[in-house]
Amino acid sequence: MSAYQELERRFARHSQLRDVAAMLHWDTAVMMPPGGAEARAGQLATLDVVAHEILIDPGLAALIEEASDADGLDPWQGANLSEMRRIWGHANAVGSDLVAALSRASSACEMAWRTARQENDFASIIAPAEELLARLRESARARGEKLGLGDYDALLDQYEPGARSAQIDTVLDDLASFLPDFLERVLAHQADQPAPLALEGPFDTGAQKKLCVALMKTLGFDFSRGRLDVSHHPFCGGVPEDVRITTRYDEKDFMPAMMAALHETGHALYEQGLPDRWRHQPVGGARGMGLHESQSLLIEMQACRGREFLSFAAPMIRDAFGADGEAWEADNIYRLGILVKPGMIRVDADEVTYPLHVILRYRLEKAMIAGDLAIKDLPGAWNDAMGEFLGLTPANDAEGCLQDIHWYDGAYGYFPTYTLGALAAAQLFEAAADALAGLGADLARGDFSRLIGWLKANIHAKGSSLTSDELIAAATGRPLDSRAFKRHLETRYLG
Amino acid sequence: MSAYQELERRFARHSQLRDVAAMLHWDTAVMMPPGGAEARAGQLATLDVVAHEILIDPGLAALIEEASDADGLDPWQGANLSEMRRIWGHANAVGSDLVAALSRASSACEMAWRTARQENDFASIIAPAEELLARLRESARARGEKLGLGDYDALLDQYEPGARSAQIDTVLDDLASFLPDFLERVLAHQADQPAPLALEGPFDTGAQKKLCVALMKTLGFDFSRGRLDVSHHPFCGGVPEDVRITTRYDEKDFMPAMMAALHETGHALYEQGLPDRWRHQPVGGARGMGLHESQSLLIEMQACRGREFLSFAAPMIRDAFGADGEAWEADNIYRLGILVKPGMIRVDADEVTYPLHVILRYRLEKAMIAGDLAIKDLPGAWNDAMGEFLGLTPANDAEGCLQDIHWYDGAYGYFPTYTLGALAAAQLFEAAADALAGLGADLARGDFSRLIGWLKANIHAKGSSLTSDELIAAATGRPLDSRAFKRHLETRYLG
């Protein structure tokens, strides 16, 4: 067996163990009774250790060296080897002492955060958050040295491989200079129009589920290879052959459950469209969190919140709830789905203000990783930025810098992927519409086949054979920028 | 770290991986969409390989040697080390070539069996079943040599550690000489009485589930550490902290779902009562399949099909279905639950005829493993034994020797555990009733606390620190025999 083949064998086992963990994560969120939590943590920790041991085996580095010197790898095999090297680098950059210290600091900080947020007590989180940040900065430096990256980029690379903050700065700075003024215009425009009519519930959750399933089938979700269930936070989990998506039903409003199901279906279609040939190899996986988010946002925000698709879906929605009347016309449902209202909370934000929440966090976390912003100064910096971006001042830290778990469980470098996804969704949807004449008419009759086919050919089936930026450039003719997203916002919110 | 401590560390990891597999097995039976089957098989195979590698690591034998020579192990540690040695012996007895050949033969034979049973075509299964039997006999010999056991006992030891066929022969021969005549007396007694009244459905499955949950809570099943779901065959899976039991609802008859839920609750209580201190060590696990079955049969057959418990449950049953009238009185429900009717199919058999189905299989499989019965002669031998034991002749092999999967997926040595469980259930229940004055009155008011407490102290909390026979002898004052079971049958079916 060649060194390359042996690497494929080892990474396949690694992938299988990660798949097992993915199934258990789904079970944890959807099925597990509360008393099972500690046992489950032990199961997941064991899987982590066993999978990690594959990556830190001293023989792996030698195999990667040997395979790199060999001739005859085809481009996919070459890309696979590059991904193996990147994954190996991340796994071996951080010594086991630091891994253990990070894990302890992260658990302690996350636990402290739950209390601090509930009791709106930022002071209580300062010490554990500083400890976690210190360990994370060590980890960022170690990763950066191994991978030839700056500290922040080394963290970012875990979530969006190949993404670099220098490029993200340009794109997000441009958006940051556009959005605050644009938001004012949207609010003025919205105020000039009569408010959309409210839809009166209650909405039976069984009927909501039936509607979600019917819409998911319309989009091409294959229920022989996946499920829809309920969890506290909607997510897309499982494995490509068995994608487990979740939503959450509210009897007072069916739109959140429906839009979450459509959003997660976007993620699911990416997983279901990955290249079979490279299943269980690094090159065969989804590219990164940002590109993954582009697929969910393309489906939810670009396609399903648009006028065309809602003209198709409105009769299904009316049927689902036995409803009728002006409020249930497609145009009113469309207008309900694009209401803009600046608020304190990121996860409740609309499409226009969401990027401002992200850019704020991106700038602050870069400063924290660079050592330019201390944890104790975070509330002040946060509140200043909220005033600048959204004209709002949080009443307290619970609705300010304590609202998200990310920094308190160690996920620095994750936030920008949300907005990179939104920008990529707009750019890809525009390119798809250019390539597919009559795409709007397709969506107006619930036909997603050409759109999903285009996404599969240009994104899904390429796995991780290129970076996200290379994939986007190949699919749209240029690297990621904010132009398509801005055009989309102008059309939708000022049209 | 001492050799013994290192062994504990390695076996704890092994246990965690087996727990992960247990959760996936539950998911496979209860949740998985059909398209996920192949991916799931890959996940389970990977877990098997990774767990097996722990056991065949060459260093493990040396650690067991070293720990065996060391002083200072307490009795539980000593028992733990003995179990480690037994598990190591099984894992290392069979070379990887034979493991692979067995796995192939078993898959091929199981697949052929599905068709053969459906099409009632025994001839088509002969070649694959012979191949599988040949490999199994090799495996039995290899295990036997490693463990100092005869061939059949080496297979049996996988399912009921410490059980030996010489002792089982005595017990089951005694039962075999008792049951045919006893069955005739029961049938005559039954014919002398008016038939019990039928319960008229349909029975809403939601109401059935509510009833099952209420009864499970009565028995002490902890729903914060477990679930009740639906699967094609009821089973008890998951892990002690998160026991997943299943049942199956039939709108025409609620008794099978209810009795299955109670049966599986007996298994679950065993798991939930295992010693916390020894969790993830071999000595902390349930003892064997026979003893496990004794716990489910004690709950279902001894306790819950008895007059006392049904006098408590009958009003709950009436409430569940909004029913009333003579047919719904406890006495009628009791009599419905103990109808005896000889039939061809083991899984449909009543408590009286079930052991005959098992003894027939036990004798035939011992002969096959010994080389005294060829696969091609199985139908004739089967049909002769059915005539002798039950006075019945199968119309075809589908309702004869093709009915069970066991021999066709390689589970020789498993069948006797069903009846060992039934005998142990009777012997333990009799001992519990002796020890706990007024136990019948407890059950008549739905109070299982003293019974479960007695089982926990005498069986559950002892884990695998003793053999099944030692556990039974310690709890009841004598090794397993058929006396208590025969007394139970006489009281219940001729009383």
Determine which one of B8, B83, B131, B264 is catalytic: B264
Does B168 have pLDDT greater than 90? yes
Sheet holding B242-247, edge to edge: B226-230, B242-247, B236-239
Q: How far is B462 from chain A (nearest CA, A)?
A: 21
Question: Hunting for tokens 């179990």 — which residue is that?
Answer: B83
Q: How far is A33 from chain B (nearest CA, A)?
A: 5
Mark yes or no for CB contact A32/B225 under 8 Å.
no
Distances in Å between the Cα of B44 and the Cα atoms of A12, B21, B51, B406 are 14, 6, 10, 20
**CB proximity B18 to A under 8 Å:** no
Question: Hunting for tokens 């470098």 — which residue is that?
Answer: A413
Indicate the pLDDT class of residue B250, thresholds 50, 70 and 90: very high
At residue B205, the pLDDT reads 97
Q: For residue B264, indicate whether it is catalytic.
A: yes
- Which residues of chain B neighbour A34 with C-beta distances below 8 Å? 224
Looking only at the bridges linking them, the beta strands covering A236-239 and B236-239 are unpaired
Residue A214 to residue A315: CA distance in whole angstroms: 12
Q: Hey, what long-range contacts does B315-318 have (CB within 8 A, 24 or more apart)?
A: B316/B211, B316/B214, B316/B215, B317/B211, B317/B254, B317/B258
User: If you average pLDDT over residues B269-289, what whole number do you get?
Assistant: 97
- Which residues of chain B neighbour A238 with C-beta distances below 8 Å? 36
At residue B125, the pLDDT reads 97
What is the 8-class DSSP label of residue A303? I
At residue B381, the pLDDT reads 98
Looking only at the bridges linking them, the beta strands covering A236-239 and A242-247 are antiparallel
Mark yes or no for CB contact A47/B224 under 8 Å.
no
Mark yes or no for CB contact B13/A225 under 8 Å.
no
User: If you average pLDDT over residues B390-417, what whole number do you get?
Assistant: 96
Residues in chain A: 495
- 3-state helix, strand, coil split of chain B in percent (to 5) is 70, 5, 25
At residue A71, the pLDDT reads 85
Determine which one of A83, A264, A308, A351 is catalytic: A264
**CB proximity A13 to B under 8 Å:** yes
Mark yes or no for CB contact A33/B242 under 8 Å.
yes
A-interface mutation test, from B46, B54, B216, B276, most A Cβ less than 10 A away: B46
- Asked whether A76 and A464 are in contact (CB, 8 A), the reply is no
At residue A1, the pLDDT reads 78
Residue A74 is encoded by which pair of tokens? 């085809």
**CB proximity B96 to A under 8 Å:** no
Looking only at the bridges linking them, the beta strands covering B242-247 and B226-230 are parallel
CA atoms within 13 A on the CB side of B91: 21
At residue A70, the pLDDT reads 87
Residue A387 is encoded by which pair of tokens? 């005033």
Residue B94 to residue B106: CA distance in whole angstroms: 15
**CB proximity A222 to B under 8 Å:** yes
- Asked whether A265 and A219 are in contact (CB, 8 A), the reply is yes
CATH T-level fold of A161-495:
Neurolysin; domain 3 (1.10.1370)
Residues in Cβ contact with A212 at an 8 Å cutoff, skipping those fewer than 6 apart:
A228, A247, A257, A258, A261
Residues in Cβ contact with B86 at an 8 Å cutoff, skipping those fewer than 6 apart:
B147, B157, B161, B282
**CB proximity B50 to A under 8 Å:** yes
In sequence order, the β-bridge partners of residue B247 are B230
pLDDT (tens digit per residue) in B62-77: 999 999 998 899 999 9
Q: Which of B33, B38, B241 sits opposite A227 (nearest CB)?
A: B33
Chain A: residue whose CA lies nearest to B241: A36
**Average pLDDT value over all residues in chain B:** 96
Q: Which of A20, A224, A280 sits opposite B47 (nearest CB)?
A: A20
**H or E element in which residue A191 lies:** helix A165-192
In sequence order, the β-bridge partners of residue B253 are B250
At residue A162, the pLDDT reads 93
Report the predicted TM-score, pTM, of the whole model to 2 decimal places. 0.94
Looking only at the bridges linking them, the beta strands covering B226-230 and A242-247 are unpaired
Distances in Å between the Cα of B28 and the Cα atoms of B32, B41, B481 are 5, 9, 38
Q: How far is B205 from chain A (nearest CA, A)?
A: 17
CB atoms inside a 10 Å sphere around CB B41:
12
Does B275 have pLDDT greater than 90? yes
The ipTM value here is: 0.93
At residue A3, the pLDDT reads 96
B-interface mutation test, from A28, A241, A243, A272, most B Cβ less than 10 A away: A241
Q: Which of A27, A33, A223 sits opposite B224 (nearest CB)?
A: A33
At residue A112, the pLDDT reads 95
User: If you average pLDDT over residues B47-68, what whole number do you get?
Assistant: 95
Q: How far is B368 from chain A (nearest CA, A)?
A: 38
Residue A25 to residue A235: CA distance in whole angstroms: 11
Side chain identity, residue B365 = E
Does B456 have pLDDT greater than 90? yes
Residue boundaries of the structural domains of chain A: 3-159, 161-495
CATH T-level fold of B162-495:
Neurolysin; domain 3 (1.10.1370)
Indicate the pLDDT class of residue B138, thresholds 50, 70 and 90: very high
Side chain identity, residue A427 = Q
pLDDT (tens digit per residue) in B315-344: 999 999 999 999 999 999 999 999 999 999
**CB proximity A227 to B under 8 Å:** yes
User: Collapsing DSSP states into helix, strand and coil, what is residue A101?
Assistant: helix
Q: Which residue ranges of chain A lie beneath pLDDT 50?
A: none
Chain A: residue whose CA lies nearest to B19: A43
